[in-house]
A = this chain, B = another copy of it.
């Protein structure tokens, strides 16, 4: 395996795609396939074959000329790059619909990422096991996170509590935060933060749908003018 430093410099977009490639490859593996071509992967991911080959070049993986890439090997290599050896534990703060949806996403997959705890303030939820994950009292976050050695926190609380939740996670010694609320938060530099806002994505789709409509309107007007 290549030096760690090599992987440190991988483009952010490549990291994202590696995760996606692996997901696609796992499905192919289930279908008894052993090898795959760059253009097949590309088709699935809606990108170009060149992009795929370039990404694989960056991680130093070589395919065979007539058979393409060995699916099993490639899955394993991607795992070596993006997974942690011992696995990483994740906590979900906010066991509402979104929190539980995320747990379901992970169920049944043998990931190196394990959802080790949930937290909520609702007494009806505390102490219950929901979708296989124990829901702890929000107030016990510090203790549980340090005892269980949880490194990543996912924030799925109502947005007005986003910032206070983040602070509590940081105090608890978390290393990375994924904020799913539409409210941006601030964390110290030593905590890796990723924010994902579902409303932005939907508004983006709406914008391009609108553009598309205007475009076809113009086409109609253009034809009429002829």
Binding site for B on A (CB under 8 A): 4, 7-8, 12, 15-16, 19-20, 23-24, 27, 44-46, 81-84, 88, 90, 96-98, 100-102, 104-106, 112-113, 151-152, 154, 156, 175-178, 182-184, 186, 190, 192-214
A98 contacts across to B, CB distance below 8 A = 97-98, 101
Residues of B within 8 A of A197 (CB): 19-20, 23
Asked if A19 contacts B204 (CB within 8 A), the reply is yes
CB-CB < 8 A to A206: which residues of B? 82-84, 88, 112-113, 152, 176
Q: Which of A27, A83, A200 has the most CB of B within 10 A?
A: A200
Main SS of chain A's interface residues? helix
From known contacts A102-B198, A209-B151, A210-B88, infer whether A24 and B192 are also in contact, taking CB-CB under 8 Å.
Answer: no
- Interface pair A201/B196, CB less than 8 Å apart: yes
**Shortest beta-carbon distance from A81 to chain B in Å:** 8
In the bound complex, do residue B175 and residue A209 qualify as a contact, i.e. CB atoms below 8 Å apart? yes
A175 to B214 alpha-carbon distance, docked (Å): 12
Supply 19 A–B pairs (Cβ within 8 Å), ascending by A.
Answer: A15-B207, A16-B204, A20-B184, A23-B199, A44-B184, A82-B207, A88-B206, A88-B209, A97-B104, A101-B101, A152-B202, A152-B205, A152-B206, A152-B209, A175-B209, A175-B213, A176-B209, A178-B202, A192-B205
